[in-house]
Structure 1
Amino acid sequence: MTELGDVLVVDGLRKHFGPTVALQDAKLRLLPGEVHALVGENGSGKSTLVKILSGVHRPDAGAIEVGGRPFAPRTPAQALRAGIDTVFQEVLGVESRSVLDNLWLGADRLLRRRDVGRRERAAEVLAALLGTPPPLDVPFGALELSDRQACCIARSLLRDPKVLILDEATSALDYDTRTRLFGLVKERAAQGMSIVLITHRMDEIREIGDRVTVLRSGETVGTLGADWDHDELIRLMTGGAHLVQEEVRATADVNCAGPVVQRVRGSRLRPNSAPCDAVFRQGEIVGLAGLEGHGQDEFLRLLLGHGDTEGVVRVEGGEEHRVSDPRRARQLGIAYVARDRRGESILPWMSILENFAIATADQDARVGLLSGRSAEQRFGQYVTRLNIKFGRTSDPITTLSGGNQQKVVIARWLAANPKVLLLNDPTRGIDVGAKRDLYRLLRELSQLGLTVVMLSSEVDEHVELMDRVLVFREGSLAAELSRAELDRERLVDAFFGGAAVSV
């Protein structure tokens, strides 16, 4: 099975979870010192394959070889001892313990070594990733999401594995950290480390990928070289050419927004930043953009009632109502979908249906009791509209892929019939098909009068979907681009302070 020089070979892996086929013929061949992208739609089997390689799951059939020897890990510790380490999309750490403790978590037991220079080595790797690293003695849970994920990556880099698997690990990183990570990946690859990169971002594959393997419905359907073609890759992933951009533009270009539904006057995102003024109209989709950490997240939370809300109002029937806090925002028909799905949105111990029904439990009350039938019927509408894939509504929400978990969370708030929907990077870590479903639904709902304000870290998403985009820089609203002005070059120019467009 193994060819000369192969570091890792996966051949014919199969895995079932009850009646669900997660993998049916998965194959992968990894060479020394290469960055190998593994792509596919949510539910294609990527996560299952990674968990098998990481020792979390065991396959039903098939074979794996590492360095020419059979490999069948029963635990993550066994995988690590064989030289395979994984950084997952969801941030894994002990929030109450220090950054330093988290960087060396499990090192004594798994790596069987003690280092007197741990602090210095940890600081060096974190500085390479973050530029200015956080103090090593602060609690891990006190860090921002991007910095926590960087710590998880640093933990794996400190272990110096033969094979490093980055399972959507870049999705939570800010722009600068991701850039530094890619530099480190190229450096480690040049030294012989092999990297498996799982991502839904085409620009990442293009930037550092040497080859690309595509999974669809649990089966490997092809491997492409560095000169891969975008349309061919999409066809392999989806089984057809999905022209998302053309579909979305066809409706976006004819959108006519209605009256003002929310307004910001003179609110400051940070103590020393310039005051912000903005209006949002019925039926439009407005993007919030900028380099990570430049104020767009604070602005989205401002609309929800956090921070300097003195000038934040919801306009209805010509009357202005101050959005004084998140509870008042909810009463005024403003819904919010958080960026950190696992930390802020889902309740992992609850079922799919229970997670969906959280925001609308009052609608399901029957003589003081909750009616599961009512919630089931309402959920069924969004299963079709968002193409949510699941087994039974009583299954734990953690049985779903990340993209389908996100769809359930979005369905939860859409079911509450909001007038304004605030989305914080909702397509982070979901595939092109799931994005297509969400884009289509948002455009459909905007035509029915829903106002969508959406923070996105993807330039193409702004260009394809938004009616206009607000660009933030250094804690202030720096530019506004209309639909007619939107293109990649102009938008990225605004990120870096380009003077072509201003507010």
Structure 2
Amino acid sequence: MNNQPSGLMLAGVSKRFGATHALIDGHLHLRPGEVHTLLGENGSGKSTLVKILGGVHRSDAGSITLDGVPVNSRSPRAAMDLGIAVVFQEVLTAGNQSVLENVWLGSHGMFRRRLGRAGQRSITRDVLSRIAGEVPLDLPAGQLSLSERQSICIARALVRRPKVLILDESTASLDVKSRDLLFVELRRLKAEGTAILFISHRMDEVEEISDRVTVLRSGRSVSTVDRSDLSIDRLITDMTGNSGHDQTRRLPHDPGDIILRGTALRLSPASAPIDFELRAGEVVGLAGLEGHGQDQFIKRLAGVAAGPGSVDRILPEGDKGLTERNGDDLGVAYLPRERRGESLFESMSIRENFALPTLAKDRRGGLLDTRNTARRFEAFAQSLSLRFGAGQDAISTLSGGNQQKVLLARWLATDPKVLLLNDPTRGVDIGTKREIYAILHRLSAEGMSVVILSSEIDELVELVDRVLVFRDQAVFAQIDHSNLSTESIVAAYFGQKSEVHT
């Protein structure tokens, strides 16, 4: 008689990368028919644990069983054969291939041949309709929104009908509608007996979807909490080892002179023009449901997207039109939303990624003084509480939060007067978010102007002086500090102006 518990069991799992002990003592029991959330700060070991389950890494010690059978996945294909499907945080699609081809990428040739083309289309249409609505199957994936591309990645896992579904920050790239559809699908899968391991840094999602929560800290499993005992304060304490939020909302203050101006900006031919002024030391938030224009707007401010209207940097010697090429010279820095696709150079080191825009500062007589680069990097690493092994290590060895800090340091090193941040804490843990918030509070107090697009409403309420809420490719409402609240922002999302100023 088999007395082994059903589901996925991890006991004492560990993994070392050189001198770095990424996972020390991982314990987890994922039961069939439950949504089990894995929480932890960046660098706590979550990604390492997921990659071990997904066959990307092999553990150094410990045991893993699925329904009592030892799991020893030597490759992602081997993990899939065992019924384990992983959807990673990064959106992994082939832009020039169709939606249909992307959904079936990596599937066994025999499995695909048995279904036939018609069967593949039928299954894909059915799965996508449940999690993303109607998506044209023959359209190249590169023409879709970020949320739709992530839905393709999730569909790629679902068409395999896995025993164990692992979602590693997969909701971070989804819009609200797609996230809600996914949660309906997860509840359906749970009822059918699928074991779901869910990873998110958004506490509202954790509260809504979790049956149990396991917390990792510094590579160790420190607690598992049932839904009936869920408490945000308890979870934060378990993740950080500290009690309390340490949350300080930005105080109102008088900003300085106008430093950046947008005039008659149109985000679509039919949308209303947008006039915008940013003042020294001001922090302005951009919000809206996915696809309503806030992403286009911040790219227009950065000069990386074209369109009707103008963006000018206001200088003592006169106004200067902003373009992608002159942003650094005019003191404007832009941090894009997608780290992997738009910012990181994964084949380069941590220090090299930091130094790219500012190498001229390290040249002496035409030669590169790498010691000066190292000194500059160490200064920023210390001020941003960057956690890493050595500057020459590949940037891919860092957690997502620490990668984001390197990119933030990269642009702070250009000494900008205007900092444009496109969803800078997406996929970043609570502790790192608090550190980034403190950095932004300090920079604005020193006179730097910040525009921050965020998909997290609580973040905007805490950080900014005013919020522009976008709807249908235009500014639907501007909410000043005195009226700023979660309720007022959500009301504007859905076209309600009773609590906001237009």
TM over 0.5: yes
Does structure 1 residue 104 correspond to structure 2 residue 104?
Answer: yes
Does structure 1 residue 310 correspond to structure 2 residue 312?
Answer: no
Residue-by-residue CA offset, 1:11-62 (whole Å, 9 max, x unaligned): 0111111111111111000111100000100000000100111111111111
Residue-by-residue CA offset, 1:226-281 (whole Å, 9 max, x unaligned): 131111100000000252422xx2xx214331111111222111110011112111
> Any conservation in 2 of the 1:352–1:393 contact (CA below 8 Å)?
yes
Give me the whole-angstrom Cα distance separating, in 2, the residues matched to 1:122 and 1:321.
Answer: 50
Match of 2:463 among 425, 446, 465: 465
Give me the whole-angstrom Cα distance separating, in 2, the residues matched to 1:85 and 1:266.
Answer: 48
Give me the whole-angstrom Cα distance separating, in 2, the residues matched to 1:342 and 1:170.
Answer: 17
For residues 449-460 of structure 1, what are the structure 2 equivalents within 5 Å? 449-460=447-458
Give me the whole-angstrom Cα distance separating, in 2, the residues matched to 1:303 and 1:213.
Answer: 41
Give me the whole-angstrom Cα distance separating, in 2, the residues matched to 1:3 and 1:288.
Answer: 55
**Structure 1 outlier segments of 4+, above 6 Å:** none
> Any conservation in 1 of the 2:264–2:308 contact (CA below 8 Å)?
no
* Aligned position for 1:320: 319
* Aligned position for 1:169: 170
Identity rate, percent: 50
Secondary structure (helix, strand or coil) at the match of 1:375 reads helix
* Aligned position for 1:417: 415
Give me the whole-angstrom Cα distance separating, in 1, the residues matched to 2:385 and 2:182.
Answer: 34
CA deviation after TM superposition for structure 1 residue 111, in Å = 4.7
Unmatched tracts of structure 1, length 5 or more: none
CA deviation after TM superposition for structure 1 residue 502, in Å = 3.3
For residues 388-399 of structure 1, what are the structure 2 equivalents within 5 Å? 388-399=386-397
* Aligned position for 2:475: 477
Give me the whole-angstrom Cα distance separating, in 2, the residues matched to 1:257 and 1:123.
Answer: 52
CA RMSD of aligned residues (A): 1.5
The one-letter code of the counterpart of 1:42 is N
* Aligned position for 1:355: 353
CA deviation after TM superposition for structure 1 residue 314, in Å = 1.2
Alpha carbons of structure 1 residues 440 and 418: separation in structure 2 relative to 1, 3 Å: same
* Aligned position for 2:287: 289
Does structure 1 residue 238 correspond to structure 2 residue 237?
Answer: no
* Aligned position for 2:213: 212
CA deviation after TM superposition for structure 1 residue 139, in Å = 2.4
Does structure 1 residue 375 correspond to structure 2 residue 369?
Answer: no
For residues 138-217 of structure 1, what are the structure 2 equivalents within 5 Å? 138-217=139-218
* Aligned position for 2:260: 262
> Any conservation in 1 of the 2:285–2:467 contact (CA below 8 Å)?
yes
The one-letter code of the counterpart of 1:198 is I
Give me the whole-angstrom Cα distance separating, in 2, the residues matched to 1:360 and 1:241.
Answer: 40
CA deviation after TM superposition for structure 1 residue 392, in Å = 0.8
> Any conservation in 1 of the 2:266–2:309 contact (CA below 8 Å)?
no
CA deviation after TM superposition for structure 1 residue 5, in Å = 4.9
* Aligned position for 2:272: 274
Residue-by-residue CA offset, 1:109-161 (whole Å, 9 max, x unaligned): 4857531211121122122222231x222322333222211100011011110
| Alignment size in residue pairs | 496
CA deviation after TM superposition for structure 1 residue 469, in Å = 0.7
* Aligned position for 2:37: 37
* Aligned position for 1:444: 442
Give me the whole-angstrom Cα distance separating, in 1, the residues matched to 2:316 and 2:134.
Answer: 49
Secondary structure (helix, strand or coil) at the match of 2:325 reads helix
Give me the whole-angstrom Cα distance separating, in 2, the residues matched to 1:241 and 1:412.
Answer: 32
* Aligned position for 1:15: 15
Residue-by-residue CA offset, 1:297-328 (whole Å, 9 max, x unaligned): 011011012223533211122732222x2113
The one-letter code of the counterpart of 1:365 is R
Match of 1:495 among 481, 493, 496: 493
* Aligned position for 1:402: 400
> Any conservation in 1 of the 2:112–2:120 contact (CA below 8 Å)?
no
The one-letter code of the counterpart of 1:24 is I
Give me the whole-angstrom Cα distance separating, in 2, the residues matched to 1:203 and 1:437.
Answer: 21
Alpha carbons of structure 1 residues 309 and 448: separation in structure 2 relative to 1, 3 Å: farther
The one-letter code of the counterpart of 1:312 is V
* Aligned position for 1:385: 383
Q: Normalised by the size of structure 2, how large is the TM-score?
A: 0.96
* Aligned position for 2:127: 125
Residue-by-residue CA offset, 1:162-207 (whole Å, 9 max, x unaligned): 0000001111111111111111111111111111001111011111
Secondary structure (helix, strand or coil) at the match of 1:114 reads helix
Give me the whole-angstrom Cα distance separating, in 1, the residues matched to 2:318 and 2:281.
Answer: 18
CA deviation after TM superposition for structure 1 residue 70, in Å = 1.2
CA deviation after TM superposition for structure 1 residue 466, in Å = 1.1
Unmatched tracts of structure 2, length 5 or more: none
CA deviation after TM superposition for structure 1 residue 106, in Å = 1.9
Residue-by-residue CA offset, 1:360-419 (whole Å, 9 max, x unaligned): 011111111222111111111221122111111111111111111111011100110111
Alpha carbons of structure 1 residues 468 and 260: separation in structure 2 relative to 1, 3 Å: same
Give me the whole-angstrom Cα distance separating, in 2, the residues matched to 1:244 and 1:141.
Answer: 41
